[in-house]
Amino acid sequence: MPSNAATRFRSRFNSQAERIVSRLAKLNVTALSGSPEELACDLRVFAALGVSEVQVRLRPNSLAGIEAFAPVLEILDQTPAAARSPLR
């Protein structure tokens, strides 16, 4: 017979399991690609639509990939707040 603590833990875990588990979905979408300027523009569109967070999967998944993506972040950081939404 499980202890009361084990029962409480299992109950708590089960109630939060859906929040902790990530799910992968195979969608018929293509990855964003292009110049740093094009990628920054695409990310601004997501922001204008209300997306507050994105996950970036770099290829290659290495220091070289991070360094290649850095110019995109620099462009986004330099964009004045008034110009960040391309839909205005």
| pLDDT per position as a tens digit, 23-49 | 667 777 788 999 999 999 999 998 889
Quote the number of domains for the chain.
1
Residue 56 belongs to some domain of the structure? yes
Domain carrying residue 65? 24-83
| pLDDT per position as a tens digit, 9-21 | 666 656 555 555 5
pTM over 0.75: no
Residue 88 belongs to some domain of the structure? no
The rounded distance, in Å, linking the Cα atoms of 87 and 76 is: 16
Residue 76 belongs to some domain of the structure? yes
Residue 14 belongs to some domain of the structure? no
Distances (CA, A) of 47 to 18, 55, 77, 79, 86: 26, 13, 13, 13, 9
